[in-house]
Structure formats: structure tokens, C-alpha cells
Amino acid sequence: MEPVKSFLPFGKWLLRIALAMIIYNQYMDTALTFSFNSAGYFLSAFLVIFGALLLIGGVTKKSDLTVVSGLLIFLLALIMIFIDGFTINRLLIHFPVSAMGFYFMVRGNKG
């Protein structure tokens, strides 16, 4: 059975929306605490910002915003895995976000 390549742009938007929903669910509460003495706060706040920029980057012609947002989401989520000590639970929470950020860093807006 052949893949349905005509649905690739729709699939990328679903992935983009899923990433935004995961970022909102996992990091928004921490970002809204305004705890300026915590590294987790700053990482969460930046993840929320770059998650929104990833959505905005999807509607632009150039993929620069998507690539930069994907790179920073990848790096910030990777840092979140190791910031307070590595555990399997932290890996399960932050690794999917990091992997999706890596995907958008590599592919940009290309369909």
C-alpha cells in the first residue's frame, strides 16, 4: 500500500498543533507562576514562547522562524530532561517535545 502524500501538509499541521498542545499542557502552569528564581520557570516560559512562534512560522513563506523555533524547542526540552537530574519520567515527558522540535528544525516548512 502506498502512502498518501497529498495529506503531508495536513499531517505537518497536525504535528505542529499537537506540539503546541503538549507545550501548553506541560509547561504553561510553570510559565504562569512568575518564579524568577527558578531555571525551570525560564525554560518553561521560553518553550511556551517558541511553541507559539512555531505556529506563527507555519503560515510564513520562509521557514526561518520555524527552523529557529524548532531548534530552541529541541534544545530547551533537552535541557529540561537533565536540569534536575535524569529520571525516566522526565525523559518520557520532555523527549517527545524535543523530538518534534528537532523535526521542525530539520524540515522547516517544507511539505
Average pLDDT of 6-18?
91
99 burial type by CB count under 10 A (0-12 exposed, 13-18 middle, 19+ buried): middle
Asked whether the beta carbons of 51 and 24 are under 8 A apart, the reply is: yes
pTM for the complete prediction?
Answer: 0.88
Cα 98 to Cα 91: distance, rounded to the nearest angstrom = 10
> What is residue 66's predicted lDDT score, i.e. its pLDDT?
93
Higher pLDDT, residue 107 or 2 = 107
pLDDT surpassing 70 at residue 111: no
> What is residue 74's predicted lDDT score, i.e. its pLDDT?
96
For cell 534536575, name the residue: 84
pLDDT surpassing 90 at residue 18: yes
In sequence order, what are the residues at sequence separation of 6 or more whose Cβ sits closer than 8 angstroms to the Cβ of residue 79?
43
Collapse the DSSP code of 107 into the 3-class scheme (helix H, G, I; strand E, B; otherwise coil) and give the result: helix
> What is residue 52's predicted lDDT score, i.e. its pLDDT?
94
